[in-house]
Amino acid sequence: MFWRIYVLFMLISWPVYAQFEVNFTPSLSCEQKIADLIDEAKNSIDVAVFSINNDNIVKALKDAHRRGVKVRILTDKMSSGQKSSKTIDMYQAGLNIKVNSAHKLEHNKFAVFDGNKVVTGSYNWTNSATDKNSENCLFILEQNQVVIDYHNRFNELWQENKQEKSDEWMIKKIKESVKAD
């Protein structure tokens, strides 16, 4: 009898345990899982990340945009001004990007995929985070209240950061890069 109760408990509770996955760096695990979720997205990808220059993730985001997925990226102005940042490149490729204008730093590191999956953790979307840093990423792979909370927070952040300010900043940085060449 005990055995049957145990099996029943495991079958009922399995989805609870199966909805989370954690990965650590240095390794390709965070990068690859994020790229996979981007590739699997059908409707929307909302990203709030401090820094982004990871070549594979950037390529996956551009590919998602080209196949019609609604991609919104909110990132930090200071980190976007760094030489290694891919923010301007993605902006010029037509992705919907805002740089933070509402807070001192946009230090979040999370994304919501199709409103039903989330990645969060210390992992910046950078090559260094994959190859050199000790970081973590937690994947929430089923819609639940936590996913809804992240989606709502992204929408709040998106609303409080103004597109006009982001566009002005992007155009200024593009002109500066043209002058430097």
3-state secondary structure of 9: helix
Q: Which residue is catalytic, options 76, 77, 86, 114?
A: 114
Output 134-137 pairs: Cβ under 8 A, ≥24 positions apart: 134/24, 134/25, 134/26, 135/24, 135/25, 135/30, 136/22, 136/23, 136/24, 136/25, 136/30, 137/22, 137/23, 137/24, 137/25, 137/29, 137/30, 137/33, 137/34
Quick check: is 107 catalytic? yes
Query: What are the angstrom distances between the C-alpha of 153 and each of 41, 46, 85, 107, 157?
Result: 20, 11, 24, 13, 6
Among the listed residues 33, 107, 165, 167, the single catalytic one is: 107
**How many CB atoms are closer than 10 A to CB 153?**
15
Q: Is 109 a catalytic residue?
A: yes
Out of 109, 117, 151, 173, the active site residue is: 109
Quote the CA–CA distance of 87 and 45 in Å, as a whole number.
Answer: 16
CA distance linking residue 56 with residue 30, whole number of Å = 11
Active site residues: 107, 109, 114
